[in-house]
Chains A and B, each alone.
Chain A
Amino acid sequence: MEIVALQVLNSLFYAAVLFLIAAGLSLIFGVMGIVNMAHGSFYALGAYITAWAVAAAAPAIPAAALFVLLFVGALGVAAIGLAIEPTLIRPFYRRPEEYQLLVTFGLLLVLEDLIRLVWGGTPRTASTLVDSLGLIQIGGLPYPVYNLVMIGVGVAAAAALWAFIYRTKFGVLLRATAQDRRMAAALGINVERIYILAFGLGCFMAGLAGAIVVPTQAAVLGMGVEVLVIAFVVVVIGGLGSLEGALVGALVVSALRTITIQFWEEFELAALYLIAAIVLLIRPTGLFGRKG
């Protein structure tokens, strides 16, 4: 029984992280029409910046204050995103999609090398954060309180994002731009501003995912590429460009992964791709994707 409880929690934690990444990926695609191949690298950057900040600050400030650094990691990535959109992405909006894929893939390679250049090949960790919250016992098995809190952060982030997009004026402008860029521009919406903010927001969420993950695991080279593949499975299932889709896709993928690991280990990846393939066959736009 306690094993079931633990596996459900494992699955929810993984889903929270996947949701943050996939939602950012979907948001950027939904608003700007860009498939951002470098999105996983923003996740990795979030992890590295957080680990670096925690290592630098840990001796000086109390553990509770270290949690602020999770947002430092996320904001750092958002700042990088705000600098990249106008310089690197903007010149390619009018080009065919393959140019956009190439430029973001190039960005992925550059960021990977940049991470190695700045932080080296040794994994970076921030376990202090996990240890500061301690463990609870679930049926005699320990479980880190940190993971529980971060599942909560994932839920809060989903709610905040939903409210932001469906309940604020900026959200209305964002959705209008996503539906019809030229009409939005004709109505006087500053589309460039919408784009850069959407990109920054997507990067913030990827960075937050990396920041949440790094205390429990480690920031390692290649983590961005690894997660990008799974994030694409999530958005294929949920529908690229849809926030509800990202949420449902993340829950489906992480539940499926946990179930196959527990019962049918070697089927883990095959099951994910199989579900993605079935969804593509039945609903090519994904469960919540828009038609056309």
Chain B
Amino acid sequence: MYKDRIEERRGFLKQFGATLGAAGLGATGLAPRNVQAAVKPKGNIPDKPVKVGHITFMTGPAELLGGPGQHGHILAQEEINAQGGLLGKRKIETMFADEAAGTDGNVKELRRMKLSEGIDLFTGVISSGNTPALGPVAEELKVLTLFNDGCTDFLFDKAVPNPKYSFRVTNIQSADGVTAAIGAATHWPKVRRIASLQPDYSYGRNVFEHFSLALGKLLPGIEVVSESWPKLGTTDFTSHITKILSVKPDLLIAGVWGGDYVAFYKQALRYGLFDKMKVATTLAFGGYPHAIGKDHPEGVLAGVHANYHFLYPPGDRWPLNKSFVERYYKRWKEYPSFEADGAYTALYLYKHAVEKANQLVGGWPDDDAIIAMLEGAGIDAPAGYLYVRADNHQGYKDTVTGLSKNLPGYDFPVWDPASIVSIPIRSITAPPNWPKPGQGHNESTAAADWIKKTWPTAKAA
């Protein structure tokens, strides 16, 4: 019986080329490539350290995301330095600053890092409120920038439509809501009445819009019966929860994250919310994995920002992830989150581009040479295969989500391996050079326009 249902869901997922369960990578035709043998650097490399600036949340409720990012960055730096540094010569030195200083404070700090400290590379940044302000400044200062997150579509749709120096490693934000929609439609095809609980700022708006848009195509006839927009940083959710209970929805989509999500699920649990509806989230497992307690209900679609969970891709199929999790655990005595993978991968992406550029031009490559190698770059990351599109400087990798479950061996809930949904990113995001907002359409993102115009609506069941 259960097996039949799984087969049915696999059929549903086929249209995206997506997979259910741990089979993942094999089905999408990806297998880890052999690690390239180290190539000898060409020309004279100075031994001056490479200075990196990294802004991330070190205080406030968002430290839950920023902390693992910092850990991932430091791990990559230590590993690269242990091999003698970049091109075997240049050690990496990082100065950190607190993103909680606010958007203006972050802009000032980036200027200071470049103008007074002379950083060679800028990384980090979690909030979607900050990357659209920092992106233009990075372009103006001509500082090579690899944003780890701050994944709003707006950054490369509008704020920096023709980026040169700025790149972003983690998946684009619209993919987050769409991934949650596909996850929800896969596991709960019968839901019709939808309630939404989103933080009241650009991220929550983006999740709600793309989730409802995609779910409407997948499950025609859905109806949004309630919207809640708590302010970011809310910890008392009882009134929101009671309101949601009052409209008796089949499904709640929740984009609240960080400390907010922990406070939310504790209250929702005692108010019986999880017994009365299915719950899909975009960031329930977005912070330190151990931040969520064993009391967290099972069977919740526990999002990881559509990026990475340390159980996936499974170690036997993607040894790079297994060894990353082991090294990370050894260093920090905790499991990595998607921010940890993003920050870790960002430094390795830089290393990859520097090495390739060095082979072409010799010596320490200038920024133009590194940028040329970053555009269109593809590397093996712990989360799977990552490629950087040349048209918008955005990193893409297959998205992933799954249902929460308490498994032996972990002090916190993880994903039920059989429930993991992995979706090829090309199936759910606008292709290269799709018109951006303002270029013949006024949707909020290129992705929204692309979904509206190209996705067929499923036949009503």
Interface residues of A (CB under 8 A from B): 3, 6-7, 10-11, 13-14, 17, 112-113, 116, 121-123, 125, 127, 130-131, 135, 141-144, 147, 213, 216-218, 220-223, 225-226, 257-258, 261-262, 265-266, 268-269
Q: Whose C-beta in chain A lies nearest to the C-beta of B63?
A: A121
| Chain A binding surface, main DSSP class | helix
B202 to chain A, nearest CB (A): 15
**Residues in chain B near residue A144, CB distance under 8 A:** 270-271
Q: How far is the CA of A63 from the CA of B2 in the complex (A)?
A: 40
**Residues in chain B near residue A123, CB distance under 8 A:** 64, 259, 262-263, 291
Q: Whose C-beta in chain B lies nearest to the C-beta of A121?
A: B63
Number of interface residues of B (CB under 8 A): 43
Can you name 14 extra interface pairs (CB under 8 A) apart from A122-B290, A122-B291, A123-B263?
A3-B246, A10-B239, A112-B60, A121-B64, A135-B270, A143-B271, A144-B270, A217-B262, A218-B262, A218-B263, A220-B263, A221-B60, A222-B100, A261-B243
Asked if B64 and A261 make an inter-chain contact with CB atoms under 8 angstroms apart, the answer reads no
Asked if A217 and B242 make an inter-chain contact with CB atoms under 8 angstroms apart, the answer reads no
Asked if A3 and B242 make an inter-chain contact with CB atoms under 8 angstroms apart, the answer reads yes
Asked if A141 and B243 make an inter-chain contact with CB atoms under 8 angstroms apart, the answer reads no
Sampled A-B contacts (11; CB under 8 Å): A116-B63, A122-B288, A213-B235, A217-B263, A217-B266, A220-B61, A221-B60, A221-B259, A222-B61, A223-B259, A226-B233
Q: Whose C-beta in chain B lies nearest to the C-beta of A9?
A: B238
In the complex, whether B295 has a CB less than 8 A from a CB of chain A is yes
Q: Whose C-beta in chain A lies nearest to the C-beta of B288?
A: A122
Contacting residue for B245 out of A3, A213, A225, A226, CB 8 A: A3
**Residues in chain B near residue A269, CB distance under 8 A:** 231
Contacting residue for A216 out of B246, B258, B270, B290, CB 8 A: B270
A265 to chain B, nearest CB (A): 5
- Taking each of A6, A13, A131, A135, which has the highest tally of chain B beta carbons within 10 Å of its own beta carbon? A6
In the complex, whether B229 has a CB less than 8 A from a CB of chain A is yes
Asked if B259 and A220 make an inter-chain contact with CB atoms under 8 angstroms apart, the answer reads yes
**Residues in chain B near residue A10, CB distance under 8 A:** 238-239, 242
Q: Whose C-beta in chain B lies nearest to the C-beta of A134?
A: B270
Asked if B228 and A142 make an inter-chain contact with CB atoms under 8 angstroms apart, the answer reads no
In the complex, whether B161 has a CB less than 8 A from a CB of chain A is no
- Whether A142 touches B272, Cβ cut-off 8 Å, given contacts A116-B59, A123-B259, A220-B262, is yes
Q: Whose C-beta in chain A lies nearest to the C-beta of B238?
A: A10
Contacts of B271-287 to chain A: CB distance below 8 A: 271-272, 287
A75 to chain B, nearest CB (A): 23
What are the 10 A-B residue pairs with the smallest beta carbon separation, nearest first? A220-B259, A222-B60, A121-B63, A217-B263, A10-B238, A3-B246, A261-B239, A142-B272, A123-B262, A222-B61
Contacting residue for A13 out of B235, B238, B245, B288, CB 8 A: B238
- Taking each of A116, A127, A142, which has the highest tally of chain B beta carbons within 10 Å of its own beta carbon? A142
- Whether A220 touches B235, Cβ cut-off 8 Å, given contacts A7-B242, A116-B59, A123-B262, is yes
Q: Whose C-beta in chain B lies nearest to the C-beta of A269?
A: B231
**Residues in chain A near residue B67, CB distance under 8 A:** 121
Asked if B263 and A112 make an inter-chain contact with CB atoms under 8 angstroms apart, the answer reads no
Q: Whose C-beta in chain A lies nearest to the C-beta of B233?
A: A226
Q: Whose C-beta in chain A lies nearest to the C-beta of B290?
A: A122
Contacting residue for B239 out of A7, A17, A217, CB 8 A: A7
**Residues in chain A near residue B242, CB distance under 8 A:** 3, 6-7, 10, 141, 262
Q: How far is the CA of A78 from the CA of B416 in the complex (A)?
A: 46
Asked if A121 and B288 make an inter-chain contact with CB atoms under 8 angstroms apart, the answer reads yes
